[in-house]
């Protein structure tokens, strides 16, 4: 399994992904699920992936291999929309390569991706690309997307994240959302990759690799855990008569 | 879908269930998913159910129909373990009645149940009964069980509930767990049924039916929502340089 979350906020974009992959409980590995395509001053694109690792790795490899192609390069797209189209098309190509005609039906070849970033001349944008290669875009009403094991970490996002949330708050909430998820699901695991893009900068993201030893993450998860207990202590007690 | 949670705590038992059932988005009904079998001074049993409504209703109906049977009555069992065995057996009986030989494989006939309570001469106990009719019992290390749509509401339970948690705190956490779940999943809905059993009382539970208009629930969910925002405001800000 995997857990990835990305937010499209007024001030920019926040991305976070775990790095655990597993094929059964006894085949566990660490793979980075965040990939960046960048041209400073021109574009900054961040791609998060979940699902079949063979599929998502092939999609990334093909996108990288074709960077210098005339048409078909993700660096040649003139909008985030076109970039999402290209990624969706590449996903369908890989799945068709590995499972033509859908003949093998006992293996799930599918993957999901989140694409966010900015291309010069456009706003910063965020897309959720489905396994079928089609996609939806985040809006002010729905400013974040999750892929993978999303349920445990959703309540904190729903309670805190809105379009006007700051990048710092978005980063904190993403880390808390991961902490809640990792407590409940062994298939989501450290280290985490975090990227934060400031709108209109067209510069490489702020990047962080968060491990169990990261001082800030340790402090945050402890502050949160203690804070939740304190919040419970302050709640009005029920009358059980 | 359904969401039910029950806790086996040092001071007694806490049960909560939603009441929404659905067969598709446009076939929504309200059914109570909490059933009580009691003999004051002798036993108090609470049963929560999730899954196929036809199956769980038949199980309850058969248990009620057989209350006066010589063997086979849930009021005749001499331990909570025997009561869990009887319920598991009745689940298998109903599923076999409706789908002998497992021939119909496009319908999920299964249901899950949580049984908790106390029979005179024993401690209070809590069991999670699987669709196959086998079951596990809660322990001090794992004092709560959930059935149905359990993921959204699990982090708050993991952070707060332990065996020594008070019944009042257990009740509050159950309500917050439901609030988080209902925000994210339309198939879990109000009103909620809550029952609280004080250990060794062998008396009927404290019962509550929580609706959207319940003053205590309204106050609690608002306190929690505001408290989470405040907790976020107090977190140490990250350095994004």
3-class SS letters over B18-67:
CCEEECCCCCEEECCCEEEEEECCCEEEEEEEEECHHHHHHHHHHHHHCC
Residue B53's DSSP bridge partners are none
Alpha carbons B172 and B164: distance in angstroms, whole number: 15
**Who among B154, B160, B223 is closest to A229 (CB)?**
B160
Interface membership of A154 toward B (CB under 8 Å): yes
pLDDT digits (tens, 9 = 90+) for B29-87: 889 999 999 999 999 999 999 999 999 999 999 999 999 987 899 999 999 999 999 99
Interface membership of B79 toward A (CB under 8 Å): no
For residue A156, the chain B residues in CB contact (below 8 A) are: 155, 228
Q: Which residues, other chains included, contact B11 with Cβ-Cβ below 8 Å and sequence gap of 6+?
A: B166, B167, B198, B199
Both tokens of A235, joined, read 């709640």
**Who among A155, A171, A183 is closest to B238 (CB)?**
A171
Mean pLDDT (whole number) for B138-165: 96
Q: Are B231 and A228 in contact (CB < 8 Å)? A: yes
Backbone dihedral angles phi then psi of residue B95, each to the nearest 5 degrees: -65, -40
ipTM: 0.90
Torsion angle (degrees, nearest 10) of CA A96, A99, A102, A107: -130
Q: Can you list the pairs that B136-145 forms with residues at least 24 positions away whose Cβ atoms lie under 8 Å?
A: B137/B81, B137/B84, B138/B7, B138/B8, B143/B7, B143/B8, B143/B9, B144/B5, B144/B6, B144/B7, B144/B8, B145/B5, B145/B6, B145/B114
Q: Are B216 and A224 in contact (CB < 8 Å)? A: no
Q: In terms of Cα–Cα distance, which of A47, A42, A29 is closest to A88?
A: A47
- How far A221 CA lies from chain B's nearest CA (Å)? 10
Residues 196-235 of B with CB under 8 A from A: 196, 206, 216, 219-220, 223-225, 227-229, 231-232, 234-235
For residue B239, the chain A residues in CB contact (below 8 A) are: 216
Both tokens of B148, joined, read 């149905």
Q: Are B234 and A241 in contact (CB < 8 Å)? A: no
Please tell me the predicted confidence (pLDDT) of residue B156. Answer: 95
Q: Are B231 and A231 in contact (CB < 8 Å)? A: yes
B110-130 per-residue burial string, b: 16 or more CB within 10 A, e: under 16: bbbbbbbbbbeeeebbbbbbe
Please tell me the predicted confidence (pLDDT) of residue B173. Answer: 97
pLDDT digits (tens, 9 = 90+) for B180-199: 999 988 889 999 999 999 99
Please tell me the predicted confidence (pLDDT) of residue A233. Answer: 94
Cα-based distances in Å from B135 to A81, A145, B81: 51, 37, 9
pLDDT digits (tens, 9 = 90+) for A41-59: 999 999 999 999 999 999 9
Residue A241 has pLDDT above 90, yes or no: no
Q: Are B228 and A156 in contact (CB < 8 Å)? A: yes
For residue A225, the chain B residues in CB contact (below 8 A) are: 159
Residue B24 has pLDDT above 80, yes or no: no
Both tokens of B70, joined, read 């010589």
**Who among A156, A172, A227 is closest to B238 (CB)?**
A172
Please tell me the predicted confidence (pLDDT) of residue B103. Answer: 84
State the best of B148, B155, B157, B173 to mutate against chain A, taking most chain A CBs within 10 Å.
B155
Cα-based distances in Å from B58 to A7, B15, B107, B143: 46, 21, 16, 29
Contact at 8 Å (CB) between B129 and B91?
yes
Interface membership of B241 toward A (CB under 8 Å): yes
Band (B219; pLDDT cuts 50, 70, 90): very high
Coil, helix or strand at residue A48: strand
For residue B9, the chain A residues in CB contact (below 8 A) are: none
- Domains of chain A, each with CATH number or no CATH: 3-234 (3.60.20.10)
Q: Which residues, other chains included, contact B171 with Cβ-Cβ below 8 Å and sequence gap of 6+?
A: A238, A240, B14, B16, B194, B196
Residue A11, preceding bond cis, omega within 30 degrees?
no
- How far B176 CA lies from chain A's nearest CA (Å)? 10
For residue B156, the chain A residues in CB contact (below 8 A) are: 155, 228
pLDDT digits (tens, 9 = 90+) for A169-224: 999 999 999 999 999 888 899 999 999 999 999 999 999 999 999 999 999 999 99
pLDDT digits (tens, 9 = 90+) for A120-177: 999 999 999 999 999 999 999 999 999 999 999 999 999 999 999 999 999 999 999 9
Contact at 8 Å (CB) between B175 and B192?
yes
Alpha carbons B97 and B91: distance in angstroms, whole number: 10
Burial environment of residue A131 by CB neighbours within 10 A (0 to 12, 13 to 18, 19 or more):
buried
Mean pLDDT (whole number) for A31-48: 96
Q: In terms of Cα–Cα distance, which of A182, A178, A128, A136 is closest to A156?
A: A178
Q: Are A160 and B224 in contact (CB < 8 Å)? A: no
At which residue do the structure tokens 């902490």 appear? A179
Both tokens of B63, joined, read 């248990």
Q: Are A232 and B160 in contact (CB < 8 Å)? A: yes
Both tokens of A215, joined, read 């001082």
Cα-based distances in Å from A28 to A24, A25, A70, B213: 8, 7, 38, 48
């Amino acid at each position: 399994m995997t857990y990835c979350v990305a937010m499209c906020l007024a001030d920019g974009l926040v991305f976070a992904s775990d790095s655990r992959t597993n094929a059964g409980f006894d085949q566990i590995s660490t793979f980075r699920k965040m990939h960046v395509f960048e041209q400073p001053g021109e574009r900054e694109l961040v791609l998060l992936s979940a699902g079949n690792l063979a599929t998502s790795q092939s999609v990334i490899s093909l996108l990288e291999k074709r960077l210098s192609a005339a048409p078909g390069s993700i660096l040649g797209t003139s909008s985030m929309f076109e970039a999402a189209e290209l990624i969706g098309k590449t996903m369908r190509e890989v799945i068709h390569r590995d499972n033509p005609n859908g003949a093998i039906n006992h293996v799930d070849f599918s993957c999901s991706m989140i694409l966010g970033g900015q291309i010069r001349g456009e706003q910063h944008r965020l897309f959720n690309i489905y396994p079928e290669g089609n996609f939806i875009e985040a809006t002010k009403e729905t400013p974040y997307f999750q892929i993978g094991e999303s349920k445990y970490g959703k309540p904190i996002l729903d309670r805190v994240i809105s379009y006007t949330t700051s990048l710092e708050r978005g980063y904190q909430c993403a880390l808390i959302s991961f902490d809640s998820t990792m407590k409940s699901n062994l298939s989501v695991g450290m280290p985490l990759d975090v990227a934060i893009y400031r709108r209109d900068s067209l510069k490489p993201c702020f990047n962080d690799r968060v491990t169990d030893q990261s001082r800030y993450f340790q402090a945050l998860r402890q502050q949160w855990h203690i804070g939740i207990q304190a919040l419970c202590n302050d709640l009005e007690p029920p009358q059980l008569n």
